[in-house]
Amino acid sequence: MAVGQKLYEGKAKILYATDDPNILLTHFKDDATAFNAQKKGSITGKGEFNCAISTHLFKLMEANGVPTHFIDRPSANEMRVKSVKILPLEVVVRNIAAGNLCQQTGLKLGTILTPPLVEFYYKNDELGDPLLTFDRLQLLDLATPDQVDQLIEMASRINEILTNFFQQCGITLVDFKLEFGCVSSGVAQTEGSPRQIILADEISPDTCRLWNQAESDPDKRVMDKDRFRRDLGNVEDAYRQVMERVLNQTV
Ligand code: C5P
């Protein structure tokens, strides 16, 4: 497969065209950013760790009937994916209060959320990815009411699958962010015909909060990007540890 033109370079990944218009190549970078790119750095090996973890978790999703953009992993930090139109939304699922939720509501870190919270943020760097209401989703024409229902259903199902999986790894899934894309539902795509929504982007310690169940100390237990965000140190070790535990569990 020939790698073509660079289509997009994001904070953590680069997207390339291939000789097949339906397939793109994602290159996972070691670069790390936080707080809307105000903090920048690099985490050695992150590209490979996140590519391996995402690959395994996308396979887990497919095995459980959740459609994803994943095709295969041709090299350590590259993933071939289906070409989709990414919805400009970040769907965040929260099982335990942390991060923004605590900052914006005053909820105590660690508060168990029953049922889990599903939130929508507008994927827009200039605006700082604001939290959206159902009405704002309609106002901005970001998703139809049916699509919102479908996204909530998919995000909740993904949460069930991931929570159980990470539990087997001795890891608590605190919260995570998902992105979805639309693909044509049939070969002959016509104007107005329904488009299938599938899971896209990545699932990794960059996009999840993961707490080591073997540690009770609130800083030591952190196995995700909060180690980078909060300068907790040992970021590479934490990502590697997540990868080893994830790959150790069969899908
Ligand atoms: O910052 P906040 O508490 O809203 O993050 C919730 C979850 O979504 C965290 O796991 C975080 O890593 C993830 N997230 C992300 N990309 C963003 C915002 C949040 O992966 N742009």
pLDDT profile of the chain (251 residues), mean per 10: 90 97 97 94 97 98 98 98 97 98 98 98 96 97 95 98 98 98 66 79 98 98 98 98 98 93
Q: Please tell me whether residue 226 adopts helix, strand or coil conformation.
A: helix
Find the 128 Cα to ligand 1 centroid distance in Å.
12
Q: Tell me if 92 CB under 6 Å of ligand 1.
A: yes
C-alpha 108 to ligand 1 mean position (Å): 17
- What is the per-residue pLDDT for 187? 52
Long-range contacts of 33-38 (CB under 8 A, 24+ apart): 34/225, 34/228, 34/229, 35/229, 36/125, 36/128, 36/129, 37/11, 37/125
Across-strand partners of 148?
Answer: none
Q: Is 50 in the pocket of ligand 1 (CB under 6 A)?
A: no
At residue 1, the pLDDT reads 72
Q: How remote is the CA of residue 44 from the centroid of ligand 1, in Å? A: 21
Q: What distance in angstroms lies between residue 32's CA and the mean position of ligand 1's atoms?
A: 13
- Helix (H/G/I), strand (E/B), else coil: 80: strand
Dist CA 11 CA 43 (whole Å): 13
**Beta strands 3-9; 13-18: pairing state:** antiparallel
SS3 128: coil
Burial class (CB in 10 A: 0-12, 13-18, 19+), 94: buried
Q: What is the whole-number distance in angstroms between the Cα of residue 80 and the centre of ligand 1?
A: 24
Q: Is there an atom of ligand 1 within 6 Å of 209 CB? A: yes
Local structure of 52: helix, strand or coil: helix
Quote the ligand 1 centre to 104 CA distance (angstroms): 14
The single-letter DSSP state of residue 241 is H
Beta-carbon neighbour count of residue 161 at 10 Å?
16
The kind and range of the H/E element at 200 are strand 195-200
pTM for the model stands at 0.96
Q: Is 99 in the pocket of ligand 1 (CB under 6 A)?
A: yes
Pairwise CA distance, residues 84 & 190, whole Å? 16
CB-count exposure of residue 66 (10 Å: 0-12, 13-18, 19+): middle
pLDDT at 193: 56
**How far, CA to CA in Å, does 133 sit from each of 15, 62, 109, 208?**
30, 30, 23, 22
- Mutate which of 35, 175, 203, 239 to test ligand 1's pocket (most atoms within 8 Å of Cβ)? 175
